Chains A and B, each alone.
Chain A
Amino acid sequence: MFGWVKTLWDTLRRPSVHYSLGFLTIGGFVAGIIFWGAFNTALEISNTETFCVGCHEMRDNVFAELKGTIHYNNRSGVRATCPDCHVPHEWTNKIARKMQASKEVWGKVFGTISTREKFLDKRLELAQHEWARLKANNSLECRNCHDLDYMDFTRQSTRAAEQHERFLLSGEKTCIDCHKGIAHKLPDMAQAEGS
């Protein structure tokens, strides 16, 4: 094992015998651009709704539920796609989330939520992960669109304005505290409170 590492290290340290310095530097630079571009392209593709609903687990459960809600269908025609809410927009957090999502690939391969029944059994746990994430980042994905600085309370209903003034403006609560189940159906909330 150690011998193999030593051989590799020696090879890396030795100057090139066959290739010119220009080929190695320019070639390395070009290859770097290509690899980085490909990586980013793949990342962007995995960040589209088409990619998400490519699996029946998403298409038949959570995406089907989203379709009836205001985040899919509304008066102004602006809508949220899956990654708008479920993938952080900022690079570092996005990569962290993508790494976590490798667990979802595992779930897909082994059919963790491959049927409606399995999904419903697992739904509470999955929802709690998302609630915890949004609670921890102060509902960042909500605020990417719903910025408090531009929220006109006078255009809200009395009830909404009062609640937002008391709890949102004071920072006492964050969006997800009250707006759970806004885009998908809720799991058994009696169990959610108990745990």
Chain B
Amino acid sequence: MKATIILTAAALVLLGVPAQADETATLRGGPIAETLDTPAMPKVVNKDLRQVRNYPEQPPIIPHKIDGYQVDLNSNRCMACHARTAIEQSQAPMVSITHFMDRDGQPLASISPRRYFCTQCHVVQVDSPPLVENDFVDIDTLLRRDAGAGQQ
């Protein structure tokens, strides 16, 4: 009985894993049955320098750590610095007027509930190589490239 189980398992490993490794795109980097070395947790970029937006509508990324920031029904730690009334002291950028608008485009007195949870759109960056390849091209680069091609 025990031998049967081991044989079956061995057969499954031999047959199943190579096929899976060929067909399945995975970020795991190894067969499912193996325990891999855990990659080190990358550090959050904490330079307080604004980074480029890849397209105009991109929510700006958070250039600092937000460990332990409480954003819930009771309190919003982000707004302690980024609220209209807080920026004089914090010298942080104010949340844009679009955040005050409700779904009909009507500006409210304060942050609209649908824009309340900052990390739905704004995220921190970590100092690590990208997990998957990305061939995104900035629109300016694209236009310049096209203009260059047209001249030739």
Contact = CB atoms under 8 A, between A and B. Distances in A.
A189 B64 contact: no
Interface residues of A, number: 17
A28 B122 CA distance: 70
- Is the interface on chain B under 10, 10 to 19, 20 to 34, or 35 or more residues? 10 to 19
Contacts of A158: 47-48
Contact of A181 (B47, B70, B73, B91): B70
A70 to B, nearest CB: 7
Given A157-B48, A159-B48, A187 B64 contact: no
A187 B48 contact: no
B67 interface: yes
Contacts of B73: 188
A174 B98 CA distance: 34
A167 B89 CA distance: 9
B74 A185 contact: yes
B75 A181 contact: yes
Nearest to B92: A159
A185 B47 contact: no
A167 B81 CA distance: 14
A188 B75 CA distance: 6
A187 B47 contact: no
A81 to B, nearest CB: 19
Contact of B64 (A68, A157, A178, A188): A157
A70 B68 contact: yes
Interface string B49-73: 0000000000000001101101001
Given A157-B65, A158-B47, 4 more contacts: A157-B48, A162-B91, A178-B80, A186-B70
Interface of A: 68-70, 157-159, 162-163, 167, 178, 181-182, 185-189
12 contacts: A70-B67, A70-B68, A157-B46, A157-B48, A157-B65, A159-B48, A163-B90, A181-B70, A181-B77, A182-B68, A186-B70, A187-B74
Interface of B: 46-48, 64-65, 67-68, 70, 73-75, 77, 80, 89-91
